[in-house]
Chains A and B, each alone.
Chain A
Amino acid sequence: MNLETKSGKLAPEKADIEAISGHQFPGGHYRIAHWENTLLTACTGADLLSDGLAHPIALFHLPIVGSGTSIAELFALGQAESDLSIMIESYDWEFFQSLREETDYKVAGQVASARRCQDAVGNIYDRIQFCFEVFDPGQELAARSTITWHYTRDTL
């Protein structure tokens, strides 16, 4: 039976949320184009980095798109009530080498964990963690991104 939230809306079943833990994304490749890095870097207010280095914030979308998923699909996987209902708990980015433009990266990703939680005032939410690994053309692990989001239920 679905859990009823404070206003009477139905939240997804706890078991359905927990069942996505371990879900593997298709995997694939991603190449940061020069134009993309130029615009991305400008958005941060910085000058383009030298020697073809990509701005590190590419480690947000590179793994998501490269692993064959999308932000919209990540929202849907956790049965988000709306695009507005997702809150960020944390981003954990590990760089074993600098990311570069125009380099083919192989990406693998999965749902690392998914569990039902309750905040201090009794609102339920689902804490879903995604983990992506990025490999350089030599198959060396280049970077890892761990995204932890809260799928709030009936709080907006």
Chain B
Amino acid sequence: MNYTVGSELPEWVMDPVSAERMRTMAAILRDPNPLHWDRDAVAALPLGLGRRTINQGPLGLGYIVNMLHAWAGAGCIRRIVMRFPQVVLDGDRVTARGVITRFCDEQCTGQAVCDVWLENAERGVLLEGTARVVLPQGIHES
């Protein structure tokens, strides 16, 4: 398959973001922050988020990783830098998307740099960043 600068990557959807998964994640990460497992703690914040837990940052980043893996294969990521302008909440339907911004030079042949983001239909872009990935056999620059 041929890709060019500006080509969109196949999207990856998480529907819905699950509070139960956040609780498991909190245990694995040894993350004491109640925002990830206590809806009352979130409701008490003056942020108007309601009784919905907040997804861990790495978990939202994981959806971007899954999109890149689905496109270019496991182990394809060389670098990923993400910022977190908005929170991801339990019950959200989120879509990971990306677009190729450039192909790398001789020193990282076969790699592409992509803008990547996670979006929600109501709230817009929740996470945004860039990723450098190795292009697998069968995906070509054109």
Contacts and interface: CB of A to CB of B under 8 A. Distances in A.
A93 B79 contact: yes
A91 B62 CA distance: 12
Given A90-B129, A91-B81, A91-B82, A57 B32 contact: no
Contacts of B61: 57, 60, 91
B81 A61 contact: no
A130 to B, nearest CB: 14
Contact of A71 (B22, B33, B46, B81): B33
Interface in B67-87: 69, 74-75, 77-84
A44 B65 contact: yes
B19 to A, nearest CB: 11
A contact residues, range = 35 or more
A28 to B, nearest CB: 14
Contact of A43 (B45, B62, B77): B62
A72 B32 contact: yes
Nearest to A60: B58
B21 A57 contact: no
Contacts of B58: 57, 60-61, 91
Of the listed residues A44, A83, A94, A98, the one surrounded by the most CB atoms of chain B closer than 10 A to its CB is A44
A15 interface: no
Interface string B83-108: 11000000000000000000000000
Interface of B: 14, 21-22, 24-25, 28-35, 41, 45-47, 57-59, 61-63, 65-66, 69, 74-75, 77-84, 129
Given A46-B69, A83-B35, 13 more contacts: A36-B28, A43-B25, A43-B62, A45-B14, A56-B65, A57-B65, A60-B29, A60-B61, A65-B30, A84-B35, A90-B129, A91-B80, A156-B47
